[in-house]
Structure 1
Amino acid sequence: MNRTLEHILPKVQKPARYTGGEYNAVVKEKCSVTTRFALCFPDTYEIGMSNLGCRILYGVMNQRPDVWCERCYAPWGDMEEEMRREGLLLYGLESGDPIADFHIIGFSLGYEMAYSNVLNMLDLAGLPLRSADRKGLTPLVVAGGTCCYNPEPLAPFIDFFVLGEGEEVTLEYIDLYQRAQEEGWSKEELLQEAARIPGIYVPSLYEVTYHEDGRVAAITPKEGAPATVTKRIIQDMDKAYFPVKTIIPSTEIVHDRVMLELFRGCIRGCRFCQAGYAYRPVRSRSPELLARYGKEACEDSGYQEMTLSSLSSTDYPCLLQLCDDLLDYCAPRDIGLSLPSLRADTFSMNLMERLQRVRKGGLTFAPEAGTQRLRDAINKNLREEDLLQSCRTAFSGGWSGVKLYFMLGLPTETDEDVLGIADLARKVYFTWRECTPNKARGVRITVSTSWFVPKPHTAFQWEAQIPVEEYQRRVDLLRDALKRDKSITYNWHDPQTSYLEAIFSRGDRRLADVLEWAWEHGAKFDAWSEYFDYQRWMDALSACGLDGDFYAHRVREKDELFPWAVPSVGVSREFLWRERELCYQSVTTPDCRSRCSACGANKMLTGGRTCG
């Protein structure tokens, strides 16, 4: 270990975040590899180590003998302070070497409030923040993740963005980088060639102009760059890499368990859900392969908990078969099996009986809206009776707690819809009273609401986020309606971070100046209340002459050119607009298994297969 690091670690909280050396971490001889890759997650070790996508990419790259991928996480404030005082540059956990010496630095972007940490990590690495100021081929700074479907606020800082699933395209651009090294290309030559790889968006190859009112006027490709960059997908999930042998953390992390990815995509088509559109089309793994992966991962890791992961786990067509296979293994070993993303209309007695064979976890359902009219408007395709029947099943089986998630500020929402949340929660309570075999235990019903954030590439990308004052009024309305219900706990999301999320999720390239100003004035870890300073961001917007309401609270016209016009998730704009119109009629669209709605994602599949 570096002597400076040895000197620092006794002074900081949770030093195990910064030491590396975990079981299954990959260490290679530097002289034996051609390319070194720093896989950076712009949040703490505990959050980053819980990210399945990063674990997959880590394994995919380290399978290649000529590539060494190391991990790097954002140091907490105490560690950063010591690093800056001692002149210790940000380093890879496996080797302890500065990531500025690596060939490629890749950031995983899953949440807009982590953007300030991207800048902070580049600075801690001793690198210029802006792509134009990093002249050489090395290090190349790239980014991937769901935030890259609107990469514009980070565009000046990143050399190129990877759209979609990274298992294949990552190896393709590593090959290109190795060729560029061998042949002595300039950085500009590399970026021009990278833009030819499907799924790679090079922001410096596009000129953006604006109307006087601030709207985007034109996005003009340069030097042969494509007008549209469509995301990459893995065609056959049974052939996709799965990290059976994964790193076992040295300290507790958020999701410290085996995570089995059942499928990618979602059949449902909720109109607010970016992930539901971005991960289309649906592609599943076989139950036999999943069962084998789960058992092998438990054997290798010693974990006592396994999670079946997807956007909607109970939509997996072979779920009961898979549960039976896994439970035969888990039950005698006291390994917990959990399904975190349950749909209330697919939670059955059969499924409950299987889950009862191991430790009971909590039950979480997301009705999203309090009335049937609004659930139809957002295409949730969930009936009140479905939810209550699922609660009857669970409470009859001995469960004594349920969490219910909703959003406030959805398009067409009225006070009646807000009060409908309280009414629905009470119906869940009375269902418990009717069905529980043990009233003495009591019941815990938790209602949580978030503030709706319109997202790119969804049916609601044209919508305005409601003003903060109106959001707070609706929170107060619901809180007052639930006051007398002692068995119901109400939690609501902080509006200030949701406002900034709305700004950056649909923002343009001019927000890069706001981001840099805020970082220069101390912004970092903005997803954490310990560091978040709302006024600093308001000052940043003012200093750069931009209005946050322009991005967050403005309805877009049907034909407005969006800042995210170049990246494509494979779903047509015409389909999304049609879905928006159906919202205002409270008309639902069937799920993908019932009927193909011609969204466009099906065209990404080869071999005549169908989505769903």
Structure 2
Amino acid sequence: MSGGIDEERMRVLLSSVKHPSRYIGGEWGSGPVKEGRDIVRVCYAFPDVYEVGMSYLGFQILYPLTKSLPYADAERVYTPWPDMEEAMRGSGTPLWSLESRRPLRDFDAVGVTLQYELSCTNILTILDLSGIHFRSADRGEEEPLLLAGGIGALSPEPVAPFFDAFMAGDGEALIPEVLSRLHELKGAKRAEKLSALAAIEGVYVPAIHGTNKRIRRRIVENLDDAFYHTTMIVPNTAIVHDRAAVQVFKGCTRGCRFCQAGVIDRPLRERSAESVCRQLEALLESTGWEEAGLLSLATCDWKGLPEAMEKLAPMLAEYKIKLSLPSLRVDAFSVDLASRLESLRKGGLTFAPEAGTQRLRDVINKGVTEEDIEAALEATFAHGWERVKLYFMMGLPTETEEDLAGILEICGRAVTAAKRHKRRGDVNASVAGFVPKAHTPFQWEKQASIEELRERGRWLKSKVRSRKVSLSYHEPEQTFLEGVFARGDSALAPAIERAWLAGERFDGWSEYFNFGRWMKAFEELGMDAASYTAERALGAALPWDHIDCGVDKEYLLLERERAYRAEVTRDCRGGCNGCGWQGRAEVCGGGEN
């Protein structure tokens, strides 16, 4: 296409890097690019490498949604790996879209998904390689609008100076309206476009709203009536999650107090089994994938699951399609369900007890009992699995040494259960440092320090006595930095710039993460990074208070009080707990009083 990267330059670049398939585009299901001067051209940018970004279901939904709009078109880009970044800089090549090889600077808008706090430097890499100014205030009329969505758009301030607008809520509800306005204003001044976007419910424009305007999150109310994808882009190379994927419901009713997604994705909205089956059949026919995933925050809770599995069984058997459920509850029912799925027969099962004792699981409202854990482990090895993976957290509010010892005790119970059933019984325990997140009942809590997390992680590893148990813990420095940006404000933007200039890239990847660079950046700016991980006063203004996710702050405070009493809050399906959604919209899937 005119204006795109020419074939010779592309050939030279691709021959100089590892994994050139990341950058060539042309995948099955992508394109074609629409023609026309009045088309609003959007490039969806994922701030991580291709293999990670192509596994993100959000882009697989927004891409065909945008292409279905007569006035808009979508293309994609992913963060170049450092070898490609170096090659591009050396040759003076701007970052291009996969579909048309059009430089990003030539688009009307670039849409970035904010999924992980430690991807912030990759956003700057995308902008710099595209010749787009970092700061919204510095951009000229010829530069594209930089839009953001995803879970990070609900606590946007650390990167707010870089973006022109944030879309708070479901992209399926916001994208058509946002792009329609940009189509109407094609050729208008930036200020006029931003003013129009600021008038849309759910859109936060920092330059206009500041932090005084309350931005209400937008949602899709009926998933069966909403847009859903029947095609997907099939990658050119292996990716993290290589499968056809369908979202079966939004939201979650379990109310885990540490879980940000479980709060900001409320209320529960379920799809019918008929709708899901129809979509999955279309996806498998159009893509040729041999594995399919039913996705949600807790798929085993989906009411339509038994009916869907019955409806899908003949087709899955005929075409030898493997069905996977990425989220299993810690109970025997989930294990029995998994035993019926061929895709889960190999390898092992994964569970997330999160905490080692019943008391601490009640503090975080995990909803998992000792009996549930015992039943899940027994059923796992009774059904023939040889190993199990267990996820825990350390540094949770009120945690004691007894709670940490409980992690080891659960691992030991898994080994014992395996012996009873004459299985190998390998146990892989992964322990992550707890990060308090915005919009949760723990948003006011102190985060355990780097030293505390390292001490607890080392204590756990030193107490492992069985060769059957392998225990690892997350890098405390990365956990610390995640905590800084999870509850940060716009004062952090200069630190992101400074760390990026010093060479920081792919901070979520341990081989590239350099904590010293970050601390030097904070020091040079006179910033106390640890202040962001400190306890917050209950009455203090919080940097994300201007984003209304739908759950009342008073409810979060009540949940915090219940946590300190180790008091369990019932699942919303058993009755409304008064979080704030019921009465606000006729879509709450929880129970009734």
* TM-score (normalizing by structure 1): 0.93
Q: Distance in 1 between matches of 2:335 and 2:495?
A: 52
Distance 1:24 1:356, change over 3 A: closer
Q: What secondary structure is seen at the aligned counterpart in 2 of 1:342?
A: coil
Distance 1:153 1:130, change over 3 A: same
Distance 1:357 1:49, change over 3 A: closer
2:475 corresponds in structure 1 to: 494
2:194 corresponds in structure 1 to: 191
1:335 corresponds in structure 2 to: 321
Q: Distance in 1 between matches of 2:427 and 2:365?
A: 25
Q: Distance in 2 between matches of 1:65 and 1:32?
A: 13
1:388 corresponds in structure 2 to: 374
1:560 to 523, 528, 540: 540
Shifted more, 347-356 versus 456-465: the winner is: 347-356
Q: Distance in 1 between matches of 2:467 and 2:588?
A: 51
Distance 1:135 1:602, change over 3 A: farther
Shifted more, 55-64 versus 472-481: the winner is: 472-481
Q: What secondary structure is seen at the aligned counterpart in 2 of 1:337?
A: strand
Residue segments in structure 2 that go unaligned for 5+ positions in a row: 1-5
Deviation at 1:408, TM superposition (A): 0.2
Q: Distance in 2 between matches of 1:178 and 1:357?
A: 45
1:444-523 mapped onto 2 (5 Å cutoff):
444-482=426-464, 484-523=465-504
Shifted more, 186-195 versus 287-296: the winner is: 186-195
Residue 36 of structure 2 corresponds to residue 31 of structure 1? yes
- Contact 1:323/1:354, CA 8 A, preserved across alignment: no
Deviation at 1:296, TM superposition (A): 2.1
- Contact 1:153/1:512, CA 8 A, preserved across alignment: yes
Residue 76 of structure 2 corresponds to residue 97 of structure 1? no
1:378 to 355, 359, 364: 364
- Contact 2:332/2:379, CA 8 A, preserved across alignment: no
Q: Distance in 2 between matches of 1:350 and 1:418?
A: 29
1:547 corresponds in structure 2 to: 528
2:577 corresponds in structure 1 to: 597
1:190-269 mapped onto 2 (5 Å cutoff):
190-207=193-210, 219=211, 221=212, 227-269=213-255
* Count of paired positions: 586
Residue 436 of structure 2 corresponds to residue 433 of structure 1? no
1:322 corresponds in structure 2 to: 308
Deviation at 1:357, TM superposition (A): 9.0
Distance 1:424 1:353, change over 3 A: closer
Q: What secondary structure is seen at the aligned counterpart in 2 of 1:593?
A: helix
Q: What secondary structure is seen at the aligned counterpart in 1 of 2:503?
A: coil
Specify the code of the residue in structure 1 equivalent to 2:581.
Answer: A
Residue segments in structure 1 that go unaligned for 5+ positions in a row: 208-218, 222-226
Q: What secondary structure is seen at the aligned counterpart in 1 of 2:574?
A: coil
Q: What secondary structure is seen at the aligned counterpart in 2 of 1:31?
A: coil
Distance 1:33 1:193, change over 3 A: closer
Distance 1:349 1:374, change over 3 A: closer
Deviation at 1:604, TM superposition (A): 4.5
Q: CA deviation digits over 1:241-264, x for unaligned, max 9?
A: 222211111111111111121111
1:210 corresponds in structure 2 to: none
Residue 107 of structure 2 corresponds to residue 106 of structure 1? no
Deviation at 1:432, TM superposition (A): 2.0
Distance 1:356 1:425, change over 3 A: same
- Contact 2:300/2:329, CA 8 A, preserved across alignment: yes
Q: What secondary structure is seen at the aligned counterpart in 1 of 2:267?
A: coil
Q: Distance in 1 between matches of 2:335 and 2:94?
A: 55
Q: Distance in 2 between matches of 1:509 and 1:171?
A: 29
1:287 corresponds in structure 2 to: 273
- Contact 1:446/1:489, CA 8 A, preserved across alignment: yes
Deviation at 1:398, TM superposition (A): 1.0
- Contact 2:328/2:334, CA 8 A, preserved across alignment: no
- Contact 2:277/2:308, CA 8 A, preserved across alignment: yes
Q: Distance in 2 between matches of 1:501 and 1:143?
A: 19
Q: What secondary structure is seen at the aligned counterpart in 2 of 1:37?
A: strand
1:396-407 mapped onto 2 (5 Å cutoff):
396-407=382-393
Deviation at 1:304, TM superposition (A): 1.4
Q: What secondary structure is seen at the aligned counterpart in 2 of 1:367?
A: strand
Specify the code of the residue in structure 2 equivalent to 1:611.
Answer: G
Q: Distance in 1 between matches of 2:296 and 2:34?
A: 36
Q: CA deviation digits over 1:25-65, x for unaligned, max 9?
A: 11224326511101000111111111000110001001123
Residue 128 of structure 2 corresponds to residue 146 of structure 1? no
2:516 to 523, 529, 535: 535
Q: CA deviation digits over 1:549-587, x for unaligned, max 9?
A: 1001x1111111001111121001000011001111000
Q: What secondary structure is seen at the aligned counterpart in 1 of 2:185?
A: helix
Distance 1:480 1:241, change over 3 A: same
Residue 553 of structure 2 corresponds to residue 573 of structure 1? yes
Q: What secondary structure is seen at the aligned counterpart in 2 of 1:320?
A: helix
- Contact 1:331/1:357, CA 8 A, preserved across alignment: no
Structural RMSD (CA): 1.7
- Contact 1:150/1:567, CA 8 A, preserved across alignment: yes
Distance 1:236 1:105, change over 3 A: same
Q: What secondary structure is seen at the aligned counterpart in 1 of 2:220?
A: coil
Deviation at 1:142, TM superposition (A): 0.7
Q: What secondary structure is seen at the aligned counterpart in 1 of 2:410?
A: helix
Specify the code of the residue in structure 2 equivalent to 1:502.
Answer: G
Specify the code of the residue in structure 1 equivalent to 2:558.
Answer: R
Specify the code of the residue in structure 2 equivalent to 1:605.
Answer: A
Deviation at 1:373, TM superposition (A): 0.3
Q: What secondary structure is seen at the aligned counterpart in 1 of 2:377?
A: helix
Q: Distance in 2 between matches of 1:358 and 1:305?
A: 11
- Contact 1:352/1:394, CA 8 A, preserved across alignment: no
Q: What secondary structure is seen at the aligned counterpart in 1 of 2:431?
A: strand
Q: Distance in 1 between matches of 2:558 and 2:379?
A: 37
Distance 1:537 1:342, change over 3 A: same
Q: Distance in 2 between matches of 1:181 and 1:283?
A: 35
Deviation at 1:333, TM superposition (A): 2.8
- Contact 2:404/2:460, CA 8 A, preserved across alignment: yes
Q: What secondary structure is seen at the aligned counterpart in 1 of 2:482?
A: helix
1:74 corresponds in structure 2 to: 79
Q: What secondary structure is seen at the aligned counterpart in 2 of 1:107?
A: strand
Q: Distance in 1 between matches of 2:89 and 2:334?
A: 55
Q: What secondary structure is seen at the aligned counterpart in 1 of 2:112?
A: strand
Distance 1:66 1:205, change over 3 A: closer
Specify the code of the residue in structure 1 equivalent to 2:235.
Answer: P
Q: Distance in 2 between matches of 1:610 and 1:421?
A: 34
Q: CA deviation digits over 1:70-93, x for unaligned, max 9?
A: 001111111111111111111110
1:216 corresponds in structure 2 to: none
- Contact 2:185/2:193, CA 8 A, preserved across alignment: yes
Deviation at 1:299, TM superposition (A): 2.0
- Contact 1:334/1:358, CA 8 A, preserved across alignment: no
- Contact 1:348/1:393, CA 8 A, preserved across alignment: no
Residue 590 of structure 2 corresponds to residue 611 of structure 1? yes
Deviation at 1:358, TM superposition (A): 7.4
Deviation at 1:530, TM superposition (A): 2.4
Deviation at 1:327, TM superposition (A): 2.7
Q: Distance in 1 between matches of 2:32 and 2:585?
A: 37
Deviation at 1:491, TM superposition (A): 1.4
Percentage of pairs with the same residue: 42
- Contact 2:71/2:183, CA 8 A, preserved across alignment: no
Deviation at 1:313, TM superposition (A): 1.0
1:369 corresponds in structure 2 to: 355
Specify the code of the residue in structure 2 equivalent to 1:538.
Answer: M
